[in-house]
Amino acid sequence: MWAYWQSVPAHWRELPARYRLEGGRCKDCGHKTLPEERVCPVCGSKNIERVALPRRGKVINYSVIWNAPRGYEYYTPYVVALIELEDGTRVFSQLTDVHPEEVKEGMEVEMVIRKTRVSGESGLIAYSYKFRPVLG
């Protein structure tokens, strides 16, 4: 448990991305990123606007973590995945509401808000996006 984890501002300033999946869009080439960057990694433009990213996408790669870092043991085994959103933007996220053996490449997923990191009994409870299989 690191003191950094107890930092309210460190979590608070990332909330647009963590709660609402807000990222950046390059007005020159259209490339989108999560989180929002000052400089477009594709064309180098500094002409960036904030946009809400689509909350649905598909799993393109994943790993089942059996050896968790401190603070994440509770979730073990859990799945982390590389997700391609409907507009092609890639994000890295934990999957939730799914058994590890049910996860497949190409699986359709949608964003939900879940408890992500709990820092001790009296510490900060950080919520953020996770992705679950699309219902129905």
CA distance 58 to 119: 30
Strand partners, 9: none
Minimum distance between the CB of residue 49 and other proteins, rounded to whole angstroms? 19
The tokens describing 60, both together, are 């393109």
> Strand pairing of 22-26 and 56-65?
unpaired
| Residue 98 or 129 with smaller CB distance to other proteins | 129
Question: What are the structure tokens assigned to 68, written together?
Answer: 């968790």
CB of 65: closest distance to other proteins in angstroms? 5
d(CA 27, CA 119): 39
Q: Minimum Å distance from CB 136 to other proteins?
A: 25
What residues contact 136, with CB distance under 8 A and at least 6 apart?
A: none
Q: For other proteins, which is the closer residue by CB, 100 or 133?
A: 100
* Residue 88 or 136 having the CB closest to other proteins: 88
Residues in contact with other proteins by CB under 8 A are: 2, 14, 17, 33-35, 41, 61-73, 75, 78, 80, 82, 90-94, 100, 105, 116-117, 126, 128-130
Nearer to other proteins, 38 or 70 (CB): 70
Q: Least Å distance between CB 31 and other proteins?
A: 11
Helix (H, G, I), strand (E, B) or coil at 59: strand
